Amino acid sequence: MEFKKNDLVQVTIEDMSHEGAGIGKADGYTLFIKDAVIGDKVEAKIMKTKKHYGFARLMKVLEPSKDRVEAKCPQARACGGCQLQFMNYEAQLAFKKNKVEANLRRIGGFDNFTIEKVIGMEDPWRYRNKAQFPFGKDKEGNIVTGFYAGRTHSIIPNRNCLLGVEVNEMTLNEIISYMEENKVEPYDETTGKGLIRHVLIRYGFTTKEIMVCLIINGTSIPNAEALCRQLAKISGMTSITLNVNKKQTNVILGDEILPLWGRETITDYIGDIKYQISPLSFYQVNPVQTVKLYQTALEYARLDGNETVWDLYCGIGTISLFLAQKAKQVYGVEIVPAAIEDAKKNAALNKIENAEFYVGKAEEVLPEKYEKDGVYADVIVVDPPRKGCDETLLSTMLQMKPKRIVYVSCDSATLARDLKILCEENYQLEKVAVCDMFPSSVHVETVACLERK
């Protein structure tokens, strides 16, 4: 049977895509249905058809899956942020474990391995220490803030995202009342006019320090004292700054920071290590899970204090400093110069003297140091972005023959691809752990340990 747009069909969901859409068949034709859960029987409306599969919109759940739950957030379907809010947390973790397993099997060609642990959260809500809210206007001309609807830039008003901390809402309320009282206009993407684009809010989970950075299409705001006075009433307020971004772009932050009130950075801890975080710093967004992730990386590295360790794609040195507590010497490599500045500052702040950092591409720095200076590694840790490691880097790692490689990954597909190359001859996949850094989303972090044969 041929389906066309707007046809209504009944589908039993049998599988889920790695992006979190339910998959089921209508008359043998495969349909992807967002917000449907494995085990659901649903009524769906065909939206788009292709030769071998199509996309349909969930209209009604006819018989709910045993894993289906009521979404906690009233905006869950409209907002682009959460893909798995309709599944109970155990089912979310099972989905993530399956996804990693499937990629390691299918792409990596591994068949003899087990996922040793799946590290979930005790309370999978309000885990984010960072949020960026855009400002705009609704049809009536009221200033609104919230989140972009999936794949678009229309703002769904929501000051109380359940993944973010509670202080976000108080902060947003103060900013909007300041804007209303002082007639400060939100930025309009289509015209390029208006002043306030976004606000970046960060919260130190251990220190309770709050950072507010307003991203503006200009270099100052009217009556800044009034804004600071209002925000300073919030307990924990530590840093208020402006960030200048006058470009017509989707990139949220510009390069320039102008201090308004308090300090320019906030402090937070991961385990025993203290970090100084500026509005522009990269910093893991789920501090509770980050500790567990790094502890797993450290556990897999099995250091006894005599090792030389390379931490590639080190960011602000978070993993490096963790490893430095147990290694003889750690070298970090990262492409963003500002992140390396932070890494060095954070090493000094923690009086860690056995960590050294280099700016550059991992696939250039490591081969060069290896060929020219003959550097050595007992253990190599990598934590690349989604696209994974460059092949030149993998081949240098193989030549350096560390006794162990710990691969931390935010994309299990590229992880599987890279592990396949590393395990062709001299290494074997020893252990895999899955860590849930982003409950309610489809993202999953994986740590794999390779041993030299």
Q: Which of 314, 410, 423, 435 is catalytic?
A: 410
CA distances from 277 to 31, 173, 410 (A): 45, 24, 22
Q: Which is nearer to ligand SAH, 319 or 330 (CB)?
A: 319
Question: In angstroms, what is the minimal distance from the CB of 365 to ligand SAH?
Answer: 8
Q: Which is nearer to ligand SAH, 49 or 392 (CB)?
A: 392
Question: Is 176:143 a contact under the CB 8 Å cutoff?
Answer: yes
Instruction: Judge whether 435 counts as a catalytic residue.
Output: no
Label residue 332 exposed, middle or buried (CB < 10 Å: 0-12, 13-18, 19+).
buried
Long-range contacts for 187-193 (Cβ within 8 Å, ≥24 apart)? Answer: 187/135, 187/136, 187/216, 187/217, 188/136, 188/137, 189/153, 189/248, 192/217, 192/248, 193/217
Q: Which is nearer to ligand SAH, 384 or 439 (CB)?
A: 384
Question: In angstroms, what is the minimal distance from the CB of 289 to ligand SAH?
Answer: 11
Chain positions contacting ligand SAH, by CB under 6 A: 282, 284, 313-315, 318-319, 333-336, 339, 361-363, 383-385
Q: Which is nearer to ligand SAH, 186 or 315 (CB)?
A: 315
Q: Which is nearer to ligand SAH, 67 or 445 (CB)?
A: 445
The pair of structure tokens assigned to 21 is 């859409």
CA distances from 452 to 236, 379, 446 (A): 48, 10, 20
Beta strands per DSSP E along 128-206: 130-137, 143-148, 155-157, 196-203
Sequence ranges of the binding site for S-adenosyl-L-methionine: 284, 313, 334, 383
- Cα angle for residues 256, 258, 262 (degrees, 5° grid): 140
Question: In angstroms, what is the minimal distance from the CB of 443 to ligand SAH?
Answer: 13
* Gap between the Cα atoms of 146 and 148, Å rounded: 7
DSSP for 260-326, please give it.
EEE-S-EEEEETTEEEEE-TT----S-HHHHHHHHHHHHHHHT--S--EEEEES-TTTHHHHHHHTT
Q: Which is nearer to ligand SAH, 178 or 275 (CB)?
A: 275
Question: Is 287:270 a contact under the CB 8 Å cutoff?
Answer: yes
The pair of structure tokens assigned to 370 is 């290896």
Pick from 114, 21, 106: nearest CA to 434: 114
Beta strands per DSSP E along 335-442: 355-359, 379-382, 404-409, 427-435
List, by residue number, the catalytic residues. 410
